[in-house]
Structure 1
């Protein structure tokens, strides 16, 4: 039986290296039947096809080895028929576009084999699947080393009860919803934008966050992502009334400067939420319910009228304004207006720049519904503004992290020149939800096997440059979804298994607050329950599980930035490897009802491998053997994370 050639290109700096105006690119080939007669790399430096021959530089290369660009002195020597061979070529960088595209072409006596970021093909594949290397714009170096923790401020911790919202303190939505102050831990309201969910307050604030920085460091967290903290009448703060001041019920600007300073003194990072697609209808510019001077809603001749999009004649029955998804308390900003541009991102005093400067020095922005932002109604000229946000932030801090919120595919924003990364719903959260919980984004039933799961993940990775893959913000859940533990019907083992993948997969992991104690919650706003500080047990199995998992991620370079390779994807079992600088980690999951045995060749450096799992009762079943191969058996409904011995 003929064995098909195995081709691999890792995309990390060991596999693709920029040298002036060229890229040095390497390819691993295992061809036991000697089917391949020639190896080429295809590129388009000036939009014209070019084939460049690859040269053999190293024989007997192992998949997890450190790439030796100088070769091993065995060029042209007699090769073992089962040898793994490393090839290399230099290609010119594309200068007319930021991304250099390339793919590998291997000739056989009967045809050809193409390797791209998506798969192996028997014919030339579409350009969208080709490997991509952006020579101009790259994410910050520090991102891939982080473990983020998302905080919904009103529900995390109360530090100063004196500034908390009081029942009936002010009118919200013109008095349509009552302002209610609740006791910490009381149940939240029912779901829906018209419910009282947005007007219920529990008293979480900035001082509360600062009080718990020690706890977060003990857990292992290195970076915080805060939901909006600017002045707003709601508890979620996605309806801003003042972008330059902290909401007084959270604290003030001095409190935030103090918090940010404390975070940075601890070696941590902080990212804030930017809501620039729309404001609150109670913003002084708009003034739907309040008679602010010259407010756009109350005064048709207002200088702020063009800050928004009004349709129809002023004071007529047809006079109305464009709002986010038709939610009338969220009028959409019009970025065609130059004053809006200056205020949000263009001027030196703009919001984007203000919080990146002293005394706050935030490390990044997460942009809410950034794909909807633009001129007039809808998202006209969107790419221009996203790119402008990036340039504005990077002008203050070149290492600022730029993240976009996209519930669906974000490929067009992730080519390097717009966003560093996205909240990776399409490329991580959606497929993980489908595979582990059998649900899609609309909570409809869906069932995919491991092969479909792998195909989904591979497709989404292949569409963007590798460094942007590493900068994706990966989450199991967030303030906009039900808690993952609820999607799993309370199955802690599956939560652990999915979390192990979160911390093993390419991208930057982010825990939604309370996950480390298995905090539950249904759809918005039930997913925003108070953190149960009164019940916290840092010796509990679930807390120590996350503590160990986070520590493993932070201590393993291959989990932070290593190459990715799927080893097995069939039925309900899925295995992949990450490797970098001679270190290897392997993640394996078996969601089936029977045990599955695995054998992987050429993994001798996994000898004395350390294992990590939340399923310690099964450790006697793993039977690790690692010499010329790695073998182990994974019981039903079990996950495993193997890490090669440090050395």
Structure 2
């Protein structure tokens, strides 16, 4: 079941060492993922959520051709290789679909399918004309093309900005051929449930819980996390996360001493979790303000996991343990959550599917610690020494 996938989220252009703003090259970088596929399985994940891989002008979100693998990452044969390698390991592969806008130099602009409006003031991005039947037909064809190649679903970039009627029509047509495909919409703000319902999205990103998790830990205020958990939609699948390609690294935000608590929220709260590559190693990075603002949170991976710094080994082990708890209680994906107790320094919440219950207790004082248990059985515990 795709909703029980635990995703490892990778921004491939940067992670695999491709030039972003300088002159582009041609290389078979997708194949550099091979040792990392084994790594994500060792971590406990069973899904690869891959950022943009299609031909683009710079960072991947300025698409030039949705049917062609970016030459900086490889070609069609490299994608076929990736599908085979993921399949042989039982890894679900989700691709990032940018269907709100394209690069201003995309042929669609000259053809009148986009271009009247810049995307959020970015002159290099042209918003698609979503009411144009040609755009709807094109997106249906693109989605089906790559689903036929073997992907499990699509992350829909800035899904909240696309008219819901566009998603309703497009996804209905795609589901006619691929009824089991997953469509995960990026929703940063607004009424999550309404956006998902009106657009018929399978899942949406849970930014409210992300913000509450790190903010509570930074400010020693678990009331904020409690509020977010109490608002957590019980009838909507959400993609939970504590890091992605657009936000500061969680280790930089909360500090090493509270990193396990953030991971525990991710792995014991309801939803479909994704782990941004390197967070499980304690990677640090803070976004800047210039044209290279994202570089710090989108680093290159070494050639193999064996070249990672040993300093991250301890948090990798804690992630493995927490993911083990999660996989042993897969029903958590669609569980209901109840906050049992809260103070500024402590919180206890329980998740239940009506038959099973899992409780998480966290504290910040006198030292950060977390305990996960069920029916009197301790499943996981950690305390800062």
TM-score (norm 1): 0.54
Residue 326 of structure 1 is matched in structure 2 by 121
Aligned match for 1:575, one of 348, 368, 371:
348
Q: Does 1:517 align with 2:281?
A: yes
TM-score by length of 2: 0.88
Rate the CA distance shift 1:493–1:389 in 2: closer, same or farther, 3 A: farther
How many residue pairs match? The answer is: 373
Give runs of aligned pairs for residues 607-646 of structure 1, distance below 5 A.
607=376, 609-615=377-383, 617=385
| Map of 1:145 onto structure 2 | 4
Does residue 1:179 correspond to 2:2, yes or no? no
The CA distance in 2 between the partners of 1:538 and 1:145, in whole Å, is: 30
Deviation of residue 385 (structure 1)?
A: 0.6
1:275 match: 98
**Residue 536 of structure 1: how far off its partner (Å):** 4.2
Question: Using a 3 Å threshold, how does the CA distance of structure 1 residues 539 and 281 change in structure 2: closer, same or farther?
Answer: closer
Specify the alignment match of 2:168 in structure 1: 387
Q: Describe the superposition over 1:205-237 as per-residue Cα deviations: whole angstroms up to 9, x where unpaired.
A: 210113421111111110011111001121x21
CA distance in 2, matches of 1:519, 1:577: 30
Matches within 5 A, 1:80-479: 142-157=1-16, 178-179=22-23, 205-234=29-58, 236-286=59-109, 296=110, 304=111, 306-310=112-116, 322-345=117-140, 350-357=141-148, 360-373=149-162, 382-409=163-190, 410-415=192-197, 418-426=200-208, 428-438=209-219, 449-461=221-233, 466=235, 468=236, 471-479=237-245
8 Å Cα contact 1:356-1:393 kept in structure 2? no
Question: Match for residue 300 of structure 1?
Answer: none
Render the CA deviation track for 1:363-396: whole Å, top value 9, x for unaligned. Answer: 11111112222xxxxxxxx110121232133222
Counterpart CA distance in 2 for 1:567 and 1:258 is 48
Aligned with residue 259 of structure 2, among 495, 500, 509: 495
Give the ranges of 4+ consecutive aligned residues of structure 1 lying more than 6 Å apart after TM superposition: none
For 1:78-134, what per-residue CA distance to the aligned partner results, in whole angstroms no more than 9, with x for missing partners? xxxxxxxxxxxxxxxxxxxxxxxxxxxxxxxxxxxxxxxxxxxxxxxxxxxxxxxxx
Q: Which has the higher helix share?
A: 2
Deviation, structure 1 residue 335: 1.8
**Distance across 2 between alignment mates of 1:525 and 1:389:** 33
CA shift for structure 1 position 248: 1.5
Q: Secondary structure at the match of 2:123?
A: coil
Q: Structure 1, residues 296-341: CA drift from partner, whole Å, max 9, x if none?
A: 2xxxxxxx1x31243xxxxxxxxxxx11011111011112222222
- Aligned-partner SS, 1:414: helix
Provide Cα deviations, 1:23-76, integer angstroms capped at 9, x if missing partner. Answer: xxxxxxxxxxxxxxxxxxxxxxxxxxxxxxxxxxxxxxxxxxxxxxxxxxxxxx
Within-5 A mapping of 1:1-40: none
Please say if 1:606 is aligned against 2:372. Answer: no
385 and 264 in structure 1: CA distance in 2 versus 1, 3 angstrom threshold: same
CA distance in 2, matches of 1:486, 1:370: 28
**Do 1:273 and 1:365's aligned partners in 2 also have CA atoms closer than 8 Å?**
yes
Looking at CA atoms only, which structure, 1 or 2, has the larger radius of gyration? Answer: 1
3-state DSSP of counterpart to 2:128: coil
- 1:538 is displaced (CA, Å) by 9.6
Moved more, 383-392 or 498-507: 383-392
Give the superposition deviation at 1:555: 1.3
Question: 1:564-585 CA deviation, whole Å, 9 max, x = no partner?
Answer: 2221122221111123475432
Whether the 8 Å contact between 1:155 and 1:204 is mirrored in structure 2 is no
Change (3 A) 1:406 1:553: same
Relative contact order, CA 8 A, sep 6+: which one is greater? 2
Task: Tell me the secondary structure at the aligned position of residue 273 of structure 2.
Answer: strand
Q: Equivalents in 2 of 1:210, 1:352: separation in Å?
A: 25
| Conservation of the 8 A alpha-carbon contact between 1:229 and 1:247 | yes
Note if contact 2:94-2:153 (Cα within 8 Å) is conserved in structure 1: yes
Whether 1:545 and 2:315 are equivalent positions in the alignment is: no
Please give the alpha-carbon distance, in whole angstroms, between the structure 2 residues aligned to 1:309 and 1:535.
43
Offset, 1:450: 2.8
